Amino acid sequence: MSTDRIVGQPVPRLEGRDKVTGQARYVDDIELPGMLFGATVRSRVPRGKITKITFGAEVDWREFVIVSAKDIPGKNCIALIDDDEPCLAEGMVNHPEEPILLLAHPDRRLLPHAVEALSVEYEPLPAIFSIEESEQQSQIIWGTDNVFKSYLIEKGDVDAVWEKAAYIVEGEYRTGAQEQLYIENNGMIAAFDPQQGVTVWGSMQCPYYVHKSLVKLCNLPPERVRVVQTETGGAFGGKEDYPSMIAGHAALLAMKSGRPVKIIYDRMEDMAATTKRHPSRTRHRTAVSKDGKILGGEIEFTIDGGAYETLSPVVLSRGAIHAGGAYYWPNIRIRAKAVATNTPPQGAFRGFGAPQSLFALERHMDRIAQVVQLSPVEIRRRNLLKPGETTTTGQSVSEAIDLRKLLDRALRLSDYAAKKERFARENRGGNRKKGIGIASFLHGAGFTGSGERYLSSVVGVEGRTDGSVRVLVSSTEFGQGTNTVLCQIVAEALQLRYEDVGIAQPDTQEVPNSGPTVASRTVMVVGKLVQSAALGIRQTLEASGLLGARYSPEEFRAAVRAYVAKNGKLQSLARYEQPEDVVWDDQKYRGSAYAAFAWAVYVAEVTVDLTTCSVSVDDFVALQEVGRVLHPILATGQIVGGIAQGIGFALYEKVIWDKGRMQNGQMTNYIIPTSADLAPIRVYFEELGNVHGAYGAKGIGELPMDGPAPAVINAVEDALGVPFDSIPLLPEDIFDAVTRKAGRESISSVAEDGR
């Protein structure tokens, strides 16, 4: 490690200069000649048949391009896993904000007026809005039973543990929808040329997802669809699948008008209409031995997917696999399902199911601790996984991770023991109660199970005429550092200077499909392929006699120049191969779910001011084992940013729904923390390496989303002695619970059989 000159160093962010000078070009900064602006007419009812569309007389509609489902050349769907989500509603709408018609006009300012002048009439149908309503099945709104997907994960013989248990602990935990709130709203520009086909530019995470869906929608061959990612102002999963919808809309308008079309959402539209984190309900029933060891348990994990399937099966999968967390479960049954409601489809948000199930689990561990009368520390110490033990899917922990040592270190860094004791003492009087809480957890990096093999990612590294080297991936930069780290990897692998390496703008015409930029896979999986492809360039140059075994960056540059001049092209591709030790059974849902896990212990210290029941997080320790830190500043930035979102998830961010429509779709009313709301977050890394990741790295983008909410809520319970099992936890909720303490209702039930 100490021989690495570039990897591990805080090199400047590759596109950083453009960002700090305002030169970086996001989609709304781009104008094309003759460009029209587009807007979307959306459903105002949660479910119903469209009976009439009236074009108001106050608008001259002849000036507008109008697109309906009838104009779709291919299949009316946003192709993702299944093709159930329409691009434009045809006859039926199944959620508020569902797109019905598209308009385009040269005057951007005229469009909202035109949208308002268009009225749609419906014959409303009964709609459902919650998991429970969906389960009731009095209205079937999707498939035959409202269930998008279900999974069953089983290990051992859970039915046999109950009679052996000294304690049986139950709990029900809920998380609400969460809006990604990237500061750059969704936007796309599309252009159509009869020869070249459709081109789109825009804010996105996954150019090839957009490509695939446009091919189907526009009925064009793959080589006549081109997708280009522009500088993207935040994504967090919110631009994983939705861009396909907006790209499709822009493309349809461009095809019909023959002119480029730009669609940019304003904040209200983006919040109300696009995907959010799946709301969840998790039910735990756990058998525990007299000395606090988990004997087994049943977990029922249910998520609300909204009106169409989109990514719900995959969110469900990750949430279900993470539901047992970082503990050893000798026996377990996890029943997971994703259900439909008449709300805008939910989607990816950093963590992707794991923050939901891990919130439940980490709250449940504290509950178990109370029942068994052990401390939150001790209950974890007794149950954390050890090397050689297996996870809930039967994956063996094959690295030398010592979770108890990690726990101890986090406790030391946070001064946990002294603070817990002091708070208990000081809380006896006064209006300000302090508490400290823990979360210990893991996050699997890369696609689940056979997912990476299915993706079959390809990357390229090429030498250019000027002798520089360029990375070719469809993996996108949206703040997390893709550009920087992939160039670091190549510079390190080829012993070049960081400045000698560039990266191509993700353009499906120029770069291979390195898979979507999701699942914390970019540095670990794609980075390793990039490393391999880079070495391929060197091999080619050596084999051609242009490069010796040792060389300076200038010599390398000269060799590249010479090779390209002679041969026209210098490119090396690398394709993903599933490691032999990562074996997964898709039918039984067992085996090695992920090539690598990152591990973490987070400790949150809070104050609850009972005058207002507001919670402030006063100190936050984040300790994680991440394989290898490739860029200390970027890595720390990812952790802190994720923790801020996790604190928002726990204490601030509430989506207020009314009949399936978000009511608080403004930044004034959807509350994320400001700089005045967050205390310093202290970040610490450990590095055990990772054979499956570039330079030993594991994926870390989503890890920090899993721990903060349960750590904070555990701390709030520590402060108040009142349990909270649902987030977001607002002061109003704390107030209601504290005042209701005497007649407190809790789903928790305990059976002690005296053994």
Partner 1 sequence: MRARPADYELVAPGTLSAVLSLLAQEPGEWLPIAGGTDVMVQYSAGTLPARKLVSIWSLPELRQIEVTPSEVRVGAGCTFADLRQHEIVGREFALLAKAAGWTGGIANQNRGTLGGNIINGSPAADSLPALLVYEAELVLVSVKGERRVPYGDFHTDYRKTQLAPDELVRSVCLSRRFSGYYAHARKVGARNAQAISKVCLAALGRLADGVVDDVRLAMGSVAPVPLRLRETERTVKGRRIEPELIQVASRAAAAEIRPIDDIRSTARYRTAVAGNLVAEFLERLSVAGPAQK
Partner 2 sequence: MNESPQNRAECDIPFQVNGKLVAVRVYPMERLLDVLREELGLTGTKEGCGEGECGSCAVLMDGALVNSCLIPVLQAKGAKITTIEGLARGEQLHALQQAFLDCGGAQCGICTPGMILAAYHLLSTKPQPSLEDIREGLSGNLCRCTGYEQIVEAVAKVGRRGSGG
Q: State which residue, 196 or 739, has the beta carbon closest to partner 1.
A: 739
Residue 2 found at the interface with partner 1 (CB under 8 A): no
Residue 8 gets the label, from left (phi > 0), alpha (psi -120 to 50) or beta, of: left
Tokens 């991936």 correspond to 473
Give the residue, chosen from 23, 196, 612, 749, that forms a contact with partner 1 under the rule CB under 8 A: 612
Tokens 């789109």 correspond to 200
Site string (231-250) toward partner 2, x via CB under 8 A: xxxxxx--------------
- Read off the tokens for 480: 């997390």
In the complex, least distance from residue 276 CB atom to partner 1, rounded to whole angstroms: 17
Angle formed by the axes of helices 527-543 and 553-567, to 10°? 70
- Cα distance between residue 337 and residue 312, in whole Å: 9
Give the residue, chosen from 614, 636, 726, 748, that forms a contact with partner 1 under the rule CB under 8 A: 614
- Cα distance between residue 461 and residue 213, in whole Å: 27
Residue 636 found at the interface with partner 2 (CB under 8 A): yes
Site string (660-699) toward partner 1, x via CB under 8 A: ---xx---xx-x-xxxxx----------------------
Count CB-CB contacts under 10 A for residue 402: 16
Stretch that binds partner 2, among 76-84, 463-471, 596-604, 642-650 (CB under 8 A): 642-650
> What amino acid occupies position 558?
A
Residue 640 found at the interface with partner 2 (CB under 8 A): yes
In the complex, least distance from residue 556 CB atom to partner 1, rounded to whole angstroms: 49
Size of the site for partner 2 (CB under 8 A): 61
- Cα distance between residue 148 and residue 150, in whole Å: 7
Give the residue, chosen from 7, 8, 13, 352, that forms a contact with partner 2 under the rule CB under 8 A: 13
With beta carbons less than 8 A apart as the criterion, state whether 261 and 38 touch.
Answer: yes
In the complex, least distance from residue 105 CB atom to partner 2, rounded to whole angstroms: 8
Residue 481 found at the interface with partner 2 (CB under 8 A): yes
520-579: contacts with partner 2 (CB under 8 A): none
Count CB-CB contacts under 10 A for residue 345: 30
Q: Please choose which of partner 2, partner 1, none residue 699 contacts, taking the beta carbon within 5 to 8 angstroms, the exact cut-off set by kind.
A: none
Strands 584-585 and 92-93: unpaired
Q: Please choose which of partner 2, partner 1, none residue 468 contacts, taking the beta carbon within 5 to 8 angstroms, the exact cut-off set by kind.
A: none
In the complex, least distance from residue 517 CB atom to partner 2, rounded to whole angstroms: 13
Stretch that binds partner 1, among 74-82, 452-460, 709-717, 725-733 (CB under 8 A): 725-733
In the complex, least distance from residue 113 CB atom to partner 1, rounded to whole angstroms: 6
Q: Please choose which of partner 2, partner 1, none residue 613 contacts, taking the beta carbon within 5 to 8 angstroms, the exact cut-off set by kind.
A: partner 1
654-683: contacts with partner 2 (CB under 8 A): 666-668, 672, 674-676, 678, 680-681
Stretch that binds partner 1, among 95-103, 108-116, 333-341, 372-380 (CB under 8 A): 108-116
- Read off the tokens for 479: 């703040």
In the complex, least distance from residue 644 CB atom to partner 1, rounded to whole angstroms: 12
- Cα distance between residue 569 and residue 460, in whole Å: 12
State how far the alpha carbon of 58 is from the alpha carbons of 54, 114, 560, 672, in Å. 12, 9, 64, 40
Q: Please choose which of partner 1, partner 2, none residue 614 contacts, taking the beta carbon within 5 to 8 angstroms, the exact cut-off set by kind.
A: partner 1
Size of the site for partner 1 (CB under 8 A): 30
Residue 113 found at the interface with partner 1 (CB under 8 A): yes
Q: Please choose which of partner 1, partner 2, none residue 643 contacts, taking the beta carbon within 5 to 8 angstroms, the exact cut-off set by kind.
A: partner 2
- Rg of the Cα atoms in the chain: 26
State how far the alpha carbon of 385 is from the alpha carbons of 62, 292, 299, 585, in Å. 67, 14, 18, 22
Q: Is the peptide bond before 728 cis (omega within 30 degrees of 0)?
A: yes
Sheet arrangement for strand 570-575: 501-503, 469-472, 458-463, 570-575
CA 483 to chain centre: 19
- Cα distance between residue 687 and residue 598, in whole Å: 10
With beta carbons less than 8 A apart as the criterion, state whether 602 and 438 touch.
Answer: yes
In the complex, least distance from residue 266 CB atom to partner 1, rounded to whole angstroms: 6
Which residues form the interface with partner 1 (CB under 8 A)? 109-110, 112-113, 116, 266, 268, 610-614, 652, 656, 663-664, 668-669, 671, 673-677, 730-732, 735-736, 739
